[in-house]
Amino acid sequence: MKTGKNIHMSLVIVISLLFMCNQSYAQAKQTESELDKRVNDFLKKQSSM
Amino acid sequence: MNVPATDGKLLYDIIMENKYKSAVEIGTSTGHSSIWIAWALSKTGGKLITFEIDERRYKEALANFEKAGLSNFIDARLGDAHELVTRLNEPIDFVFSDADKDWYTNYFKALDPQLVVGGCFTAHNIEMSGARNFYNYISKLPNYKTMVDNRGAGMSISYKTEK
Domain that holds residue B82: 5-160
Confidence band, pLDDT 50/70/90 cuts, at residue B5: very high
In degrees and rounded to multiples of 5, residue B62 shows phi and psi of -60, -40
ipTM score assigned to the predicted complex:
0.87
Return the higher-pLDDT residue of A12 and B73: B73
Q: What is the CATH number of the domain that holds B119?
A: 3.40.50.150
**Spans of all domains in chain A:** 1-49
Report d(CA B31, CA A30) in Å as an integer: 25
pTM: 0.87
Could you report the per-residue pLDDT of B66-104, keeping only the tens digit for each?
999 999 999 999 999 999 999 999 999 999 999 999 999
CA nearest A33 in B: which residue?
B43
Q: Name the domain count of chain B.
A: 1
- Do the Cβ atoms of B46 and B93 come closer than 8 Å? yes
pLDDT score for A1: 60
Sheet (strand B22-26) strand order: B74-78, B47-52, B22-26, B92-97, B115-124, B155-160, B144-149
* For chain B, the helix, strand and coil percentages under 3-state DSSP, each to the nearest 5: 45, 25, 30
The verdict on a CB contact (< 8 Å) between B68 and A42 is yes
Partner A contacted by B30 (CB < 8 A): no
3-state SS assignment for residue B72: helix
